[in-house]
Amino acid sequence: MSEIERIDFEKNTQFQFDLAADALGLDPEIRELLCIPFREVRVKIPIRTDEGRLKVFIGYRIQHNHARGPMKGGLRFHPHLDIAESRSLAALMTWKTAVVNIPFGGAKGGVACDPKRFSPGERERVTRALVSALDPVIGPHLDIPAPDVNTDAQVMAWIMDEYSRRHGHSPACVTGKPVELGGAKGRVEATGRGCAVILQEAARNMGVDLARGRIVIQGFGNVGSHTARFMTELGARVIAVSDSQGGIFNPDGLPIADVIAYKSEKGSLNGFPNSHPVTQEALLETDCDVLIPSALGGVIHKFNADRIKARMIVEAANSPTTMNADKILEQKSIPVIPDILANAGGVTVSYFEWVQNLQQISWEEDRVGRELQSIMTRSYQEVESVSREEKVTLRVAAYMLAIDRVARAARLRGI
Ligand code: NAD
């Protein structure tokens, strides 16, 4: 078993911020203003279990910055949820919304709990109690939650209902809702679609022929499976994919529609016909044109970065590359399309959902696809141009673009 570098998410995000702030020559006062979160809320979530016992959980909402608009970010239910990781993810949301230039700030939060132990009723009561506790600080023009780890469209529906009981019908208070309640068509596959658009632009720019490209994807959940599907539609060969239980490899390419059907039937990828099993470590180190980490943070680290053989990395997951690995990849001239650009398709379609809810209209899916394509293409081109002109990595360029936009908004509003 190889060594693993444990990622300190907060330090990692701060390090990326500092690199870009140095490159921008950011005023020290603005720097301090942008680093410290606007508001950190820790709340008590008491519920009655199905057996009638009282159980108390702790919930968090970190609101990082709202200079450019209401704050936006996911709510997760996870036993390891803590304030430090939430802080880092909230800051990432500020930079992500700024890099794609949609009028939001950044936030993140959730409840420290093990949702696998909940009955549907307990899950609903935890959700409603969280909304009740966060009520003074969330809302369509304040902070708009969305799905994240272990929360889904049903949880968003309960959030909308609980908030609307207090404030009147308010679908724009949350995104990622079921379509029946004003959810955007195309939201489910939006992050994968956005990733595919970015990859097309990057491949064109870097002279990689995607039609002959060999793609490796870690993680086969929402983001990984949709990205795989869009890649095959572009003619690329997805040669290896993995989930938490293991990976599969076929150098001639995997039939992704069949892999999706197999995983949905069997619950895992193991044993997929005409493929070889591959370990998580070996998958990341596979010789390929594009590696797309789409599962966890910190999987490319100082102990394995040197063994990565991909020609390009596209960060579909949040923070999959540690700051130490980043340096090694730069020395190896492996370009990394950073998370705040590569996976921004999800929050972009969430923005479309919010716009539709405020206007009480509904877009057809093809319009969602077109508008997403236009925002992602423009964003890649803007980041690439800063990278070329300033001779910095795409990650530093994306942060520079984002920090500059947020700093300008903060200055114009007055501190
Ligand atoms: P998901 O829960 O649908 O899928 C996660 C996948 O990762 C699953 O296939 C799981 O089996 C796999 N996985 C877990 N541990 C693994 C391991 N050790 N090795 C390999 N695979 C493993 O989650 P998702 O929504 O697809 O999100 C994936 C990543 O993308 C996360 O980092 C998330 O923060 C990020 N992201 C998601 C969205 C979105 O719209 N869903 C938007 C932006 C960023």
pLDDT in tens, 368-391: 999 999 999 999 999 999 999 999
Contact predicate 269/300, CB 8 Å: no
- For 72-112, the pLDDT digits (tens) are 999 999 999 989 989 999 999 999 999 999 999 999 999 99
Quote the CA–CA distance of 171 and 49 in Å, as a whole number.
Answer: 28
Burial of 266 (0-12, 13-18, 19+ CB in 10 A): exposed
Burial of 379 (0-12, 13-18, 19+ CB in 10 A): buried
The atom of ligand 1 lying closest to the CA of 339 is 44
**From ligand 1's centre to the CA of 222, what distance in Å?**
7
Indicate whether 149 pLDDT > 90: no
Quote the CA–CA distance of 375 and 217 in Å, as a whole number.
Answer: 24
Q: How far is CA 86 from the centre of its chain?
A: 13
pLDDT of the residue at 326: 96
- Rounded average pLDDT over 250-277: 97
Amino acid residing at 158: W
- Rounded average pLDDT over 44-61: 97
Q: Output the ligand 1 site: residues, CB below 6 A.
A: 191, 218-224, 242-244, 280, 294-296, 316-318, 343, 346
Quote the CA–CA distance of 310 and 136 in Å, as a whole number.
Answer: 47
- pTM to 2 decimal places: 0.96
The atom of ligand 1 lying closest to the CA of 320 is 32
Q: What is the percentage of the chain residues whose pLDDT exceeds 70? A: 100
Indicate whether 251 pLDDT > 90: yes
- For 212-228, the pLDDT digits (tens) are 899 999 999 999 999 99
Q: What does pLDDT average to over the chain?
A: 96
Indicate whether 1 pLDDT > 60: no
Going by alpha carbons, the residue nearest to atom 4 of ligand 1 is 221
Going by alpha carbons, the residue nearest to atom 5 of ligand 1 is 221
Length reported for the chain? 415
Going by alpha carbons, the residue nearest to atom 36 of ligand 1 is 317
| Active site amino acids | 108
Quote the CA–CA distance of 82 and 1 in Å, as a whole number.
Answer: 28
pLDDT of the residue at 2: 65
Going by alpha carbons, the residue nearest to atom 19 of ligand 1 is 244
Rg (CA), the chain: 21
Going by pLDDT thresholds of 50, 70 and 90, the confidence category of residue 6 is confident
**From ligand 1's centre to the CA of 161, what distance in Å?**
27
Say which residues have a Cβ less than 8 Å from residue 314's Cβ, sequence separation at least 6: 195, 198, 199, 202, 290, 291, 292, 336, 337, 342
Indicate whether 11 pLDDT > 80: yes
Going by alpha carbons, the residue nearest to atom 17 of ligand 1 is 244
- Rounded average pLDDT over 204-219: 93
From 256, 296, 353, the mutation candidate for ligand 1 (largest count of ligand atoms within 8 A of CB) is 296
From 223, 248, 270, 300, the mutation candidate for ligand 1 (largest count of ligand atoms within 8 A of CB) is 223
The atom of ligand 1 lying closest to the CA of 343 is 43
Quote the CA–CA distance of 226 and 367 in Å, as a whole number.
Answer: 19
**From ligand 1's centre to the CA of 295, what distance in Å?**
4
- For 307-358, the pLDDT digits (tens) are 999 999 999 999 999 999 999 999 999 999 999 999 999 999 999 999 999 9
pLDDT of the residue at 255: 97
Quote the CA–CA distance of 389 and 248 in Å, as a whole number.
Answer: 40
